[in-house]
C-alpha cells in the first residue's frame, strides 16, 4: 500500500479516485512521508493505477518528469559518509557523474557534497536514511523523485561487520548485518532496477575477498553476507547483460577505514597487522573495473593471488588460518 500512495502523490499531480478527486501538493506528500503515509478518503481504481504506471514508465525512458522537465540522472551511492563509499563518490564526481549520496550522517554527507561542489561539479543530492529500516528504498525513491532525479548507476556500498564468535555476539546486531549487507542491497537494487535498465546503466556492489572463503570464523555473519553479494552480483550480471546493464562486484581485501573500529578489531588482532589498501585505491579500482565491464574486481596483486589459490587449498586449512588471523 505504501508504494501505491507514493505513486499517487508524486509531483503534486491529482489522480482519479473512485470516491472523488483529490489534489495533493508536493509539500503535503513530503510531510505525510515523514509522518507515515495515510490513505486518503478515496481509492484509485486499478485501471487508473495501471495508466499512471505506464505513463510514468514511458516518461522515465524518455528522461522526462511529469512536468515535462528533464530528469537529473544520478549515480546513487549508499554508505557515502566515509571510507570506500565516500571515495567512490569522489571518483565518480571526478569523472563528471552527477551524484546522490545516502547515509545516516547528515553532517558527513553535507560536508562531502560541499567538497564535491567546491571542485566545480554539480552539488550531489543528499539523502539521509538508515537503510536497515524497512521501506528505506521506497522512501529514497520518493526523495529522488522530489529532487527531479533518477539513478542510472547504483553503488551498493553500505555495510558493516562484527568481530567475535557468533555465540558471543549480540543476535540483534548479527541480524542487522543481514538486514544491511543483504536485504537492503536486494531491496534497493530491485527498487531501482527498472530505471537502470531503461538507462542501460550500471550496478556496483561492494563485496569483499571474504566472499571467496568457505567461511569466516570470528566474523561468520559478515563473511556469509559478502558471499551472498558476490553470488547475487554474478547472477544479475548474466541476467542483465543482454539488456545493456553492467553489474560488477568489488571485492577488496583488508582496507584501512573506520570499518575496523566499528567491527571491534582489537590491537592484537593479527589481521589488523597485515598491509592494507587505502579506501581511495579500492575506489579507483572499483570505478575502473565497472567502466570496463568486469564482473569481479579484486584490487591488489596479493589479493588476486590469494583468491586464485583458494580453490586448491583444503577448506579445513583455510578456516584454521582465518580463525588464527581474527
Predicted pLDDT at 64:
53
Predicted pLDDT at 196:
98
Question: How high is the mean pLDDT of the chain?
Answer: 82
222 is catalytic: yes
In percent, the amount of the chain with pLDDT more than 70 equals 76
Predicted pLDDT at 323:
86
| Same domain membership, residue 296 and residue 206 | yes
| Same domain membership, residue 76 and residue 42 | no
| Same domain membership, residue 88 and residue 23 | no
Instruction: Kindly tell me if the per-residue pLDDT of 1 is higher than 70.
Output: no
The predicted-structure confidence for 37-69, as pLDDT tens digits, reads as follows: 333 444 443 433 334 344 444 444 545 555 556
Lowest mean pLDDT among 2-11, 107-116, 152-161, 302-311: 2-11
Q: Which residue, 157, 275, 149, is CA-closest to 208?
A: 157
Predicted pLDDT at 204:
98
Final residue of a structural domain among 68, 97, 113? 68
Question: What are the residues whose beta carbons fall under 8 Å from the beta carbon of 22, sequence distance 6 or more?
Answer: 14, 40, 41, 42
Predicted pLDDT at 269:
66
67 vs 311, higher pLDDT: 311
Annotated catalytic residue within 212, 222, 223, 287: 222
Instruction: Kindly tell me if the per-residue pLDDT of 238 is higher than 50.
Output: yes
Say how many domains are in the chain: 2
The grid coordinates of residue 304 equal 588476486
| Same domain membership, residue 62 and residue 164 | no
| Same domain membership, residue 25 and residue 125 | no
Domain residue limits at 197: 71-325
3-state helix, strand, coil in the chain (%, to 5): 55, 15, 30
Q: Which residue, 191, 158, 154, is CA-closest to 176?
A: 158
| Same domain membership, residue 55 and residue 5 | yes
Buried b (16+ CB within 10 A) or exposed e, 263-298: bebeeebebbeeebbebebbbbbbbebbeeebbbbb
Whole-angstrom distance, CA of residue 151 vs CA of residue 144: 8
| Same domain membership, residue 291 and residue 308 | yes
| Same domain membership, residue 97 and residue 38 | no
Amino acid at each position: 500500500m505504501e508504494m501505491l500512495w507514493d505513486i499517487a502523490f508524486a509531483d503534486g499531480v491529482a489522480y482519479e479516485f473512485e470516491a472523488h478527486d483529490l489534489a495533493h501538493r508536493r509539500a503535503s506528500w513530503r510531510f505525510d512521508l515523514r509522518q507515515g503515509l495515510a490513505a486518503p478518503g478515496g481509492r484509485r481504481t486499478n485501471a487508473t493505477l495501471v495508466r499512471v504506471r505506464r505513463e510514468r514508465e514511458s516518461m522515465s525512458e524518455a528522461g522526462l518528469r511529469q512536468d515535462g522537465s528533464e530528469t537529473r540522472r544520478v549515480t546513487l551511492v549508499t554508505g557515502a559518509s566515509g571510507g570506500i563509499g565516500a571515495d567512490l563518490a569522489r571518483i565518480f564526481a571526478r569523472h563528471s557523474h552527477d551524484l546522490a549520496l545516502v547515509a545516516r550522517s547528515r553532517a558527513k554527507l553535507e560536508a562531502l557534497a560541499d567538497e564535491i561542489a567546491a571542485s566545480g561539479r554539480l552539488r550531489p543530492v543528499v539523502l539521509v536514511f538508515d537503510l536497515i529500516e524497512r521501506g528505506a528504498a521506497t522512501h529514497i525513491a520518493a526523495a529522488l523523485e522530489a529532487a527531479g532525479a533518477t539513478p542510472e548507476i547504483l553503488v551498493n556500498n553500505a555495510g558493516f561487520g562484527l568481530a567475535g564468535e557468533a555465540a558471543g555476539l549480540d543476535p540483534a546486531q548479527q541480524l542487522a548485518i543481514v538486514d544491511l549487507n543483504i536485504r537492503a542491497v536486494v531491496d534497493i537494487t530491485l527498487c531501482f532496477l527498472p530505471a537502470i535498465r531503461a538507462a542501460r546503466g550500471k550496478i556496483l556492489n561492494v563485496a569483499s575477498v571474504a566472499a571467496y572463503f568457505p567461511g569466516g570464523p570470528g566474523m561468520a555473519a559478515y563473511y556469509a553476507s559478502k558471499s551472498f553479494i558476490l553470488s547475487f552480483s554474478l547472477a544479475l550480471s548474466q541476467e542483465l547483460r543482454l539488456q545493456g546493464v553492467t553489474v560488477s562486484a568489488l571485492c577488496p581485501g583488508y582496507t584501512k577505514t573506520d570499518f575496523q573500529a566499528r567491527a571491534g578489531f582489537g590491537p592484537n588482532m593479527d589481521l589488523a597487522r597485515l598491509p592494507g589498501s587505502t579506501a581511495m585505491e579500492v575506489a579507483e579500482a572499483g570505478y575502473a573495473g565497472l567502466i570496463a565491464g568486469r564482473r569481479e574486481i579484486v584490487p591488489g596483486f596479493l589479493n588476486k593471488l590469494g583468491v586464485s589459490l583458494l580453490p586448491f587449498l583444503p577448506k579445513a586449512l583455510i578456516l584454521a588460518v582465518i580463525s588464527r588471523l581474527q
